[in-house]
């Protein structure tokens, strides 16, 4: 059903609550009386739906990559992709071999950036981000992901004399099968999709139906693409007999997992950065994390200033990115201009236009059209700086929103009706993109502009956020960092964790129903490094900053440098650029097994190691 703005009483006037928002007595959405609308030419409907679908497909990217990579080599070669595409194309009844070959050639021509004939995990992610939502590949993966949501397993994703001779043994470890849950949970998700009647066992008939319905599972099970119905049945009977080790009536979960999850190898380790090597010398554009890379709580990290000066002297370009959700770029620029944090490469202050923060990125995202006029926002912020950023960029749109900075439970219940109306409109538009449902209703959103430290948290505020998120409000936040570092002069040499925004994000996400993760209902938006919209609103912005300094923008020549797998390295993977993990901050290389899909290109002890040996001085070492 499509909701009319007249029937719901939406308003576009400016309503800004600087204190507690009390429940108003304005008219509320009347569900039974709401009229349906079919209006032509509604902008952004298809775009919103495509963005949600793409987010869902990318959420199952690791599983798709591992299942498609049938030899477990860590890359998808032309043959593997062509087989998977024949399965995908075959599902939609088009010329199987011809279209599959054409799509694969296009994929490799566009996304095999290094020309080695394989798609790496980084290249695969870039392809999913940019490929057409009408392609056979995209729609095949979308159906797999949507059914995983329906089955409640989406969280596990994040020849010869007989065809039996073609069965390839799956007794080796995949490159991403590292002992952490990533591979095992993907395998268990496949089990749940095959177990159609939820009996806890997979019959041969169920397995056969699953490989017809899900091309990815057919790829996982090495089902030959050229089999007819009888041949496929014979293959599946043989394979199921092989997996079903106790010979009973079906494959239980333990047998399935044992077949696909043998003793595992560790995640491949990143190469050490060598500034003199040919591969490292190709990098001419650098994106640096700030906290843990350029500085730490006690001040500037030794070597950081020298590295930036060295890049300036060698015609390289750089930008600094901070995942702070409370401060604009100007605050970081000010921090680096004096005291223990003073950073003057070559004796000169950092030029303007080199720094960007997650708060900046989130402002750009919110003003990009995602939140239409009249939207209702509950904003939790450390201070008022975010308002100035909004007013500077788009005062008219900002003042059209109804904004509350605290909320009582009664108001949350009222707002929840508007949140539900907006969600129902989005779901209806996504179900049938050909229909034009009229102007979208104002959205409701819970928004974070903080780094984990917020004065005035209350049980009532937490309850209000929980209610809004449960009934359909978007959740917009800057970063998923669970903790931030701090020091205490009474305990020299020790770094203490302080709550980060990610700690509260994970808690509040639990209030959102599974529908929040379907193609029509993705409602979490993280603009910082490693976030689901961070590639566009943070990394792409950093690349624009490099271009403004004279860089070509070629992603093969750009590297992000940081101290976290789950933000900095992940941002590089999602953006299709190189990455280097520094062990001077939150994460060390020993933790790689905990982040099997966040694989850095290089690693270093600290930022001083980026300098050629001849440029190092005694000041760069703790002696």
The least confident of 258-262, 289-293, 337-341, 489-493 is 258-262
Helix pair 136-150, 45-59: axis angle to 10 deg: 70
For 481, other C-beta atoms within 10 Å of its C-beta total: 26
pLDDT, position 295: 92
Q: How far is CA 432 from CA 130, 144, 191, 514, 528, in A?
A: 22, 19, 31, 21, 32
Res. 33: pLDDT tops 70:
no
C-alpha closest to that of 589 among 265, 177, 269: 269
pLDDT, position 143: 77
Same domain, 322 and 384: no
Q: pLDDT band for 85, please (50, 70, 90 cuts).
A: confident
Q: What is the mean pLDDT of the chain?
A: 78
Q: pLDDT band for 47, please (50, 70, 90 cuts).
A: low
Res. 470: pLDDT tops 60:
yes
Res. 150: pLDDT tops 50:
yes
Q: Return the H-helix or E-strand segment holding 230.
A: helix 229-243
Contact 597, 565 (CB under 8 A): no
Q: pLDDT band for 153, please (50, 70, 90 cuts).
A: low
pLDDT, position 61: 76
Residues 603-610, mean pLDDT to the nearest whole number: 89
Same domain, 196 and 234: yes
Residues 525-554, mean pLDDT to the nearest whole number: 93
| Higher-confidence position of 616 and 77 | 77
> Which one of 60-69, 107-116, 131-140, 324-333 scores highest in mean pLDDT?
324-333
pLDDT, position 516: 52
Q: What percent of the chain has pLDDT over 70?
A: 76
Same domain, 484 and 573: no
Q: Give dist(CA 195, CA 192) in Å, integer.
A: 5
First to last CA, the chain: 70
Q: How many domains does the chain have?
A: 3
User: 268-298, pLDDT tens digit by residue?
Assistant: 567 889 888 899 999 999 999 999 899 999 8
Residue 2 lies in a domain: no
For 428, other C-beta atoms within 10 Å of its C-beta total: 16
User: 321-335, pLDDT tens digit by residue?
Assistant: 999 999 999 999 999
Residues 434-462, mean pLDDT to the nearest whole number: 84
Q: Give dist(CA 64, CA 82) in Å, integer.
A: 14
Residues 41-54, mean pLDDT to the nearest whole number: 58
Helix pair 358-365, 540-548: axis angle to 10 deg: 110
Contact 561, 286 (CB under 8 A): yes
Residues 30-54, mean pLDDT to the nearest whole number: 45
For 495, other C-beta atoms within 10 Å of its C-beta total: 16
Domain boundary (503, 526, 549) is at 526
| Higher-confidence position of 290 and 17 | 290
Q: What is the DSSP letter of 510?
A: T
Q: What percent of the chain has pLDDT over 90?
A: 35
Residue 119, token pair as written in the block: 């798609």
The answer for residues whose C-beta is within 8 angstroms of residue 25's C-beta and 6 or more apart is: none
Res. 594: pLDDT tops 90:
no
Same domain, 386 and 414: yes
82: containing domain: 48-260
Contact 533, 526 (CB under 8 A): yes
Contact 211, 221 (CB under 8 A): yes
Residue 1 lies in a domain: no
User: Within 13 Å, how many C-alpha atoms sit on residue 304's CB side?
Assistant: 27
Residues 195-202, mean pLDDT to the nearest whole number: 88
Tracing tokens 């948290």 back to the chain, one arrives at: 457
Residues 186-212, mean pLDDT to the nearest whole number: 86
The answer for residues whose C-beta is within 8 angstroms of residue 124's C-beta and 6 or more apart is: 61, 64, 65, 76, 111
Same domain, 202 and 236: yes
Q: Give dist(CA 61, CA 533) in Å, integer.
A: 16
pLDDT, position 62: 74
Same domain, 251 and 342: no
Same domain, 366 and 256: no
Residue 586, token pair as written in the block: 């939150």
The least confident of 79-88, 89-98, 129-138, 538-547 is 89-98
Q: pLDDT band for 432, please (50, 70, 90 cuts).
A: low
Same domain, 364 and 348: no
The least confident of 52-56, 222-226, 257-261, 474-478 is 222-226
140 by DSSP, 3-state: which?
helix
Residue 17 lies in a domain: no
Q: What is the DSSP letter of 22?
A: P
Res. 618: pLDDT tops 70:
no
Same domain, 249 and 116: yes
Res. 526: pLDDT tops 50:
yes
Contact 238, 164 (CB under 8 A): yes
Same domain, 428 and 467: yes
Q: pLDDT band for 579, please (50, 70, 90 cuts).
A: very high
Question: What are the contacts of 578-583 at 24+ separation with CB within 8 A?
Answer: 578/283, 578/602, 580/273, 580/604, 580/610, 581/270, 582/292, 582/293, 582/606, 582/607
Residue 497 lies in a domain: yes
The least confident of 34-38, 285-289, 367-371, 469-473 is 34-38
Domain boundary (499, 526, 553) is at 526
| Bridge partners for 471 per DSSP | none
Q: Which CATH number does the domain housing residue 316 bear? A: 3.40.50.1000
C-alpha closest to that of 376 among 265, 472, 306: 472
Same domain, 375 and 339: no
The answer for residues whose C-beta is within 8 angstroms of residue 217's C-beta and 6 or more apart is: 67, 144, 190, 193, 194, 210, 211
| Higher-confidence position of 431 and 393 | 393
Residue 70, token pair as written in the block: 């049938």
pLDDT, position 92: 40
Cα Rg, the chain, nearest whole Å: 26
Contact 221, 242 (CB under 8 A): no
Same domain, 103 and 207: yes
């Amino acid at each position: 059903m499509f909701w009319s703005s007249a029937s719901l009483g939406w308003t576009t006037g400016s309503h800004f609550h600087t204190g507690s928002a009390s429940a108003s007595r304005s008219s509320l959405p009347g569900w039974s009386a709401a009229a349906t609308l079919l209006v032509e030419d509604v902008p952004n409907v298809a775009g919103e739906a495509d963005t949600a679908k793409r987010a869902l497909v990318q959420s199952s990217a690791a599983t798709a990559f591992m299942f498609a990579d049938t030899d477990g080599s860590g890359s998808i070669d032309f043959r593997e992709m062509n087989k998977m595409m024949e399965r995908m194309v075959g599902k939609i009844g088009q010329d199987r071999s011809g279209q599959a070959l054409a799509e694969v050639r296009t994929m490799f021509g566009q996304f095999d950036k290094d020309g080695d004939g394989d798609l790496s995990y980084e290249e695969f992610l870039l392809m999913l981000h940019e490929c057409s939502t009408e392609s056979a590949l995209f729609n095949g993966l979308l159906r797999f992901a949507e059914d995983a949501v329906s089955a409640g397993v989406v969280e596990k994703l994040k020849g010869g004399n007989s065809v039996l001779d073609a069965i390839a043994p799956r007794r080796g470890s995949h490159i991403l099968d590292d002992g952490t849950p990533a591979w095992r949970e993907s395998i268990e998700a496949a089990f749940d999709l095959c177990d159609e009647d939820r009996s806890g066992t997979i019959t041969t008939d169920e397995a056969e139906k699953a490989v017809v319905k899900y091309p990815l599972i057919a790829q996982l099970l090495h089902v030959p693409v050229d089999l007819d119905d009888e041949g496929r049945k014979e293959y599946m009977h043989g394979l199921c007999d092989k997996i079903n080790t106790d010979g009973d009536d079906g494959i239980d979960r333990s047998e399935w997992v044992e077949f696909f999850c043998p003793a595992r190898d560790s995640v491949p380790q990143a190469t050490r950065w060598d500034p003199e090597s040919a591969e490292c010398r190709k990098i001419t554009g650098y994106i640096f994390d700030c906290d843990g890379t350029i500085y730490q709580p006690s001040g500037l990290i030794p070597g950081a200033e020298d590295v930036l000066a060295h890049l300036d002297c060698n015609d390289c370009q750089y930008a600094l990115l901070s995942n702070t959700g409370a401060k604009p770029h100007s605050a970081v620029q000010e921090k680096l201009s004096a005291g223990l944090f003073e950073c003057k490469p070559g004796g000169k202050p950092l030029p303007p236009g080199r720094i960007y923060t997650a708060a900046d990125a989130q402002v750009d995202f919110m003003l990009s059209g995602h939140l239409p006029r009249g939207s209702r926002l509950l904003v939790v912020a450390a201070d008022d700086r975010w308002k100035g950023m909004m007013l500077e960029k788009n005062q008219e749109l900002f003042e059209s929103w109804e904004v509350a900075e605290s909320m009582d439970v009664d108001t949350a219940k009222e707002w929840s009706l508007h949140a539900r109306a907006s969600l129902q409109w989005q779901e209806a538009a996504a179900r049938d993109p050909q229909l034009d449902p009229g102007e979208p209703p104002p959205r409701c959103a819970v928004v974070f502009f903080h780094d984990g430290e917020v004065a005035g948290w209350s049980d009532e505020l937490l309850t209000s956020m929980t209610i809004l998120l449960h009934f359909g409000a978007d959740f917009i936040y800057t970063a998923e960092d669970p903790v931030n570092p701090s020091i205490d002069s009474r305990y020299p040499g020790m770094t203490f964790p302080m709550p980060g925004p990610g700690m509260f994000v994970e808690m509040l996400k639990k209030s959102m129903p599974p529908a929040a993760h379907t193609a029509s209902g993705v409602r979490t938006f993280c603009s910082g490094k490693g976030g689901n919209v961070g590639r566009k609103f943070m990394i792409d912005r950093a690349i624009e900053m490099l271009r403004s300094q004279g860089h070509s923008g070629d992603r093969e020549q750009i590297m992000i440098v940081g101290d976290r797998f789950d933000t900095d390295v992940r941002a590089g993977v999602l953006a299709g650029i190189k990455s280097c993990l520094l062990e001077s901050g939150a994460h060390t290389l020993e933790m790689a097994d905990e982040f099997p899909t966040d694989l850095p290109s290089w690693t270093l002890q600290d930022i001083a190691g980026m300098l050629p040996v001849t440029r190092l001085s005694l000041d760069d070492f703790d002696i």
